[in-house]
Each structure stands twice: as structure tokens, then as C-alpha cells.
A and B are shown apart, each in its own frame.
Chain A
């Protein structure tokens, strides 16, 4: 798979549009999911993910092959998502689609319910985490998403976020602590 990606990258850099299309097919779903994890909305993720590939195509010459192509494309995804969030200047992100239950009570209401089964507790915890994620800074959310949703090592997170490994750890550390605090407070 990696060898195939390398071959395609070499061809795409030489101007082979079909090879780039194959790279798109290889990464399109991961990029969509990553954008969704950053933004919390499938519709926005879909638009951003398309922009990611357009940008990647335009910047193909800049890709030096020092990192994996996937890391490079995730980096573009992270940058576009963070820029998008900043541009929107919203204090809170929309709720993650898959966690929104129609007509469900708020997390606080749920916590006061006496008859809370295990499933409901899990749901409550998820909702808390969801709102906690929305309160993190763009970099913290990005680091948490990359670390726990995509299970990437700190080194790769640092590459994607264009920071040192220590800084990446700080983002994960602060992000995770904020999420824990959020759960405890509620």
C-alpha cells in the first residue's frame, strides 16, 4: 500500500493527473472522517475534504516526500479545518451529528435523572465529551482527534500540526485534562 502510494506520488509529481486521482481514491474517506472529527459536521467536512484535494493537487510540487503522503494530506486537512474554524469565529462548534439524539435531554438534565442505565450513562459521557471537545482550542481539539480518533503517534501529530513533539504532547495533555475536568464538574 505504501509502495503503491509512493509510486503514485512520483507519477503525480511528474504531472500524471490519473495517478493523483488514484491517490484521491486512496485517501478520500480518511480525509472526510478527519475533517468531520475536526468540524463536527458532515456537510462542512464534505466541502473541506474536497478543498483538501484541490489544494493538494495545486501544491503537489511542494511535497518533498520527507513524510508519508498521508501525513502530508492530513496536515493540509488539519490546516484547512483550523483556518475554517477560525474564520467562522464561533465560540462553539455544532454538535457532532452522530451523537445528537433527537429530543434528548441536555447533559445536565441527564445527570440529574435517577434511573440512568449503563447505556444512558455512556450516552451522557459521550455528550459531555462532545461539548468538551467543542470548548477546546483548535490545536487541542486537533491533537485529541489525531491521537484518539486516528490513533496517530505523537511524532506524526507533531508533523501534521507543524509543531514539536513536546508541543503536541502539551496539546494532548491540556485537551485531555480539560475533558476530564468537564466530566467531573458536571
Chain B
């Protein structure tokens, strides 16, 4: 291999100042020498930087949602029940299955605990006149705006559910989760009030179980969120609560919709 190019030769090549007879030789060397090529690339930093900045494009959230949904339909992942059932194989000594089983058992325990806490809360008890707890009627438009907000964030959460733990640790996704959880927790109060106003037990149950998660997420430290990334993913993927809540709200707006009485 011919001798490497000097810094000055590289600069001249980049700036187009190298004599024509030397250009061909320099280019031939550049193609064959990773070191000189790297230096040449670095000297083209303006173009390279702009190119890197261009890479920050984000797809429209609607398109991302459609894309994820299409892939999920074509390549479905195992449901929570299937995964839990698969955990039986742990008895054969497969440690991966064992780890999974423990994770899912913990997840179930958490959900069971959250449900217990939820239905023992004052305000959802049957003895207490729930309607009296509603301070004012919520307009249809308000609920539709909540529904639109949920749709928007459903896509974000779906996106979030695909973020790996590692990615979450090295980006600002932790803060994103917190912000999102706070926003959603605020909206969930509106939905709870509406569910009570509508006497809709199923909607109330849905939003309340999500509320438990949201409050926990909103109050967690970013470092904790990193550790809980897997848990968040599972809950978002498996429970699919936001979709159900949104659909329940949309359906509730229909006058003929049969409702479960509280």
C-alpha cells in the first residue's frame, strides 16, 4: 500500500486544491486505507453533520401505529396466558422459562394487589352514593377531547412498548414516560367522573386499574423507570387498556349503548 496521505494532502483533497495529477492517486489510496478514509470523512464534517441531523426524522404517529398493528397481526406475540402456561416447562430445568414464570407471577400479584386496593377504595363502594361525588357534569366535547388524547397517546405508548430497557437507560425516555403518565393520570380523573356519571362500571374498572399504574409511574424516579421498562412493556402490550378505555368512551357516547349499572 502506498504511503498514507498527510493531513495537508487530505485537506487539499477535501477542498479541491490538490493538483489533478495527484488526485487520482490520493483517491485510490483513500479507498484502500481505512485510516485515511476515516480522516477524510471527518474533514467533511459539515456535510456529515447535516446528514446525521437529517436522520432524526420521525414517522407520523398514525402511520407508526398502523405499521405496528399490521406487524402484530401478521406476527402475533404470545399472550400473557400463553407465556404463563409456557412457564410450566420450567419444571424441565429451562431457566429462561423459570425467569419468565417468576416475572409473570410477580406481575399477576401486582395486578391482583392493585385490584384489591382499587375496589376497597372509598368512592367505589356500593354503599356510598357515587353520583353525589361527581361535582359537575362533563360535556360530550370534553370527553371526546379526552378520547382523542388517549388515541394519540395510545400510539406513543405502543411505541414505548417497543423500547428496550437499554434504550430507555440511555435516552430521555424515562422522562417521557413520567410526563405521559402525569398527563394521563390527570385525564383519567375526568374519565372516572364520566364513568360514574354514566353509571358505567366496566369503564370505571378499566380506568381505575390503569390509574394505579399511572400514579405509580408518575411518582417513580427515572432510574426506577429504567428498571421497570420491562414491566411497563408487558402491561402496555398485554392489557391494552388504553384501547379499551377509548373504545368504551366512544361507545358510551352512543345513546343506544347498553350500560352496566353501578
Contacts and interface: CB of A to CB of B under 8 A. Distances in A.
Interface of A: 1, 7, 17-18, 20-22, 24-26, 28-29, 32-33, 36-37, 42-43, 45-46, 49-50, 53-54, 57, 96-99, 122, 125-126, 129-130, 144, 147-151, 154, 165-166, 169-170, 172-173, 176, 179-180, 183
Give the residue among B34, B50, B159, B162 with the most A Cβ atoms within 10 A. Answer: B50
A25 B54 contact: no
B57 A129 contact: no
Contacts of B142: none
Contact of B67 (A26, A28, A129, A180): A28
A36 B47 contact: no
Contacts of A147: 41
Interface in B35-81: 37, 40-41, 44, 47-48, 50-55, 57-60, 63-64, 66-68, 70-71, 74-78
B63 A183 contact: no
B71 A50 contact: yes
Interface of B is mostly: helix
B57 A98 contact: yes
B128 interface: no
A42 B77 CA distance: 25
B27 interface: yes
Contacts of B41: 147, 172, 176
A100 B37 CA distance: 32
- Interface bin, chain B: 35 or more
A54 B59 CA distance: 21
Nearest to A184: B16
A165 B58 CA distance: 30
Give the residue among B50, B60, B75, B96 with the most A Cβ atoms within 10 A. Answer: B75
A183 B44 CA distance: 12
B162 A21 contact: no
Interface of B: 27, 30-32, 34, 37, 40-41, 44, 47-48, 50-55, 57-60, 63-64, 66-68, 70-71, 74-78, 82, 96, 159, 162, 164, 166
The 9 A-B residue pairs with the shortest CB-CB distance, nearest first, are A149-B55, A148-B51, A98-B57, A21-B75, A24-B75, A21-B77, A18-B78, A46-B67, A42-B59
Given A42-B59, A148-B52, A180-B44, 10 more contacts: A1-B166, A17-B75, A21-B77, A24-B71, A28-B67, A32-B59, A33-B59, A46-B70, A50-B71, A173-B27
A25 B162 contact: yes
B194 to A, nearest CB: 34
A148 B77 contact: no
Contact of B31 (A7, A36, A144, A169): A169
A42 to B, nearest CB: 5
A129 B47 contact: yes
A46 to B, nearest CB: 5
25 contacts: A7-B96, A18-B78, A22-B77, A25-B71, A25-B162, A29-B64, A29-B159, A45-B59, A46-B70, A50-B70, A53-B75, A54-B74, A96-B57, A98-B54, A98-B57, A99-B57, A122-B50, A148-B48, A148-B52, A149-B54, A150-B55, A154-B37, A169-B37, A173-B27, A176-B41
B66 A46 contact: yes
Contact of B63 (A22, A24, A42): A42
Nearest to B163: A29
Nearest to A172: B41
Contacts of B53: 126
A125 to B, nearest CB: 6
A127 B86 CA distance: 52
Contacts of B54: 96, 98-99, 126, 129-130, 149
B91 to A, nearest CB: 19
B65 to A, nearest CB: 11
Contacts of A130: 54
Contacts of B31: 166, 169-170, 173
